[in-house]
Chains A and B, each alone.
Chain A
Amino acid sequence: MKLNLLSTSLLFFLSLSSLLANSTFDDFFRSTGKINTVLGVVVILFLVLLFFLIRLDRKIGKLEKQMKNE
């Protein structure tokens, strides 16, 4: 249940970061060059989520190894 909640919030934030990338007011982002900032923000958010995924994967892997060795 806990992991379900975790993965739910994970994807919620992923979708939020997609929203950040796409709710572009065409007047605002058009020519100011700030699109690179948007890209940077979205990539950073994605990398944070990725880091979380990898950490989770490793933790579970460790537990599986422990289980196997017993």
Chain B
Amino acid sequence: MNIKDNWWKILGVVFMLYTLIAGILIPLKPGVLEFSNSRALTGSIYEVDIETYNTYLTIAPTNVWLLLPDDKLIKADRTNVIDNNHISASIPIPHDLEIPTDRGIAATIVIDNASDGFFIYPDGVRIKKGDSKNTLSPEYYSISDLKSVKDFKFPFRGVVFETIRNTFFHVAIWMSMFIILIVSCFHSIMYLIKKDLNHDSRSAALTTVALVFGIAGLLTGSMWAKFTWGAFWTDDVKLNMTAIALLIYFAYWILRASIEDVDSRARLSSVFNLFSFVCLMILVMVIPRLSEDSLHPGNGGNPAFSGEDLDNTLRAVFYPAIIAYALIGFWMAQLIYRYDILKNNFLDKEY
């Protein structure tokens, strides 16, 4: 197996190993898991027990704060670190805090120390007007008073927590499926122009691999959904449209299997391949974005995938993952194609 022809296979393997190792081992940023008390009243002390994640609260002095909507911070006047992941705090709420409506204002819990930097639970506490006569006027701080550290860790997001790593597996497989399908459509077009059956064999092999990637994407997505959001499938636009698109590609397989004559099979399946790709783009990319509401990022009223959902730390593993799957997909397609060629030659020789 010479390197000159197969360098890209080795590159795919290297990227795949990198994706696996970095994707699984790099830890999450510190975060707040649970806290005991979500109500506070002006003019009284807000007491709370907090459980955190991936933190080392005991090795450096830790502060607990409440971040108000106008970006001012109130510091806890008493904190008690129980262990590396548990802390309790008392925060005095100023009596003269402006509460515009009966619903109160939402405050964010902030914890910081020199080792973990700062991390938050956004809008977790509701401050309402209290009727106590105490005058509490704690000092206000600003966000620049918080300690921050530079570290390479994945974002800590509620609900998904560690399964955010699925970005490198589930999401990356879908992206690489698109890449493989684009190359497959290229070969379909080339067949229609040049009538060279090699192009048809190539596009069939690539579509096969892409369809298998699609099934893998659906399976991994269902599994992720079950453990993270509680259901294998929902009535989400993108999910249903993706299932329909994959069904259309199944029809491509059936079409190829049902035609005996090599030339008409090649012609019909090339055309169908192009049609399926257009359908895929419309069903999976266009319609979900037009719909009213969707669970997927970037569709139906949600911010786009690269805005809120991709961090630079995630990107560092996400893009190599897409390349890894694409290269390994091309490798598999190449094997299918070479086998196909061998089979045709064998049949031609009439042993």
- Provide the main secondary structure of the chain B interface: helix
Q: Are A19 and B220 in contact (CB under 8 A)?
A: yes
Q: Are A11 and B335 in contact (CB under 8 A)?
A: no
Best-buried of A15, A16, A56 by chain B (most CB within 10 Å): A15
Q: Are A8 and B212 in contact (CB under 8 A)?
A: yes
Whether a CB of chain B sits under 8 angstroms from the CB of A4 is: yes
Contact (A39, B20) CB under 8 Å given A3-B336, A7-B209: yes
Please tell me the number of chain B residues within 8 Å of chain A, measured between CB atoms: 43
Whether a CB of chain A sits under 8 angstroms from the CB of B82 is: no
Contact (A42, B208) CB under 8 Å given A14-B216, A18-B169: no
Q: Are B335 and A19 in contact (CB under 8 A)?
A: no
Contact (A7, B212) CB under 8 Å given A21-B24, A23-B223: yes
CB neighbours of A30 from chain B (8 A): 53, 162
* Complex-state Cα separation, A17 to B338, whole angstroms: 27
Contact (A35, B25) CB under 8 Å given A7-B335, A23-B224: yes
Q: Are A57 and B1 in contact (CB under 8 A)?
A: yes
- Interface positions, chain A 10-61, Cβ under 8 Å from B, are 10-12, 14-16, 18-19, 21-26, 29-30, 35-36, 38-39, 42-43, 46, 50, 53-54, 56-58, 60-61
- Provide the main secondary structure of the chain A interface: helix
Chain B 267-279 interface mask (CB, 8 Å, partner A; 1/0)? 0000000000000
* Complex-state Cα separation, A26 to B12, whole angstroms: 30
B239 to chain A, nearest CB (A): 17
Within 8 Å by CB of A26, from B23, B24, B161, B173, lies B161
Best-buried of A3, A39, A54 by chain B (most CB within 10 Å): A3
List 22 A-B residue pairs with CB atoms under 8 Å apart, sorted by A's residue number. Answer: A3-B340, A4-B336, A7-B332, A8-B208, A10-B332, A11-B212, A12-B215, A12-B216, A15-B173, A18-B169, A21-B24, A22-B224, A23-B163, A23-B224, A24-B162, A24-B227, A26-B162, A39-B25, A42-B20, A57-B6, A61-B1, A64-B338
What is A's interface to B at a CB cutoff of 8 Å? 3-4, 7-8, 10-12, 14-16, 18-19, 21-26, 29-30, 35-36, 38-39, 42-43, 46, 50, 53-54, 56-58, 60-61, 63-64, 67
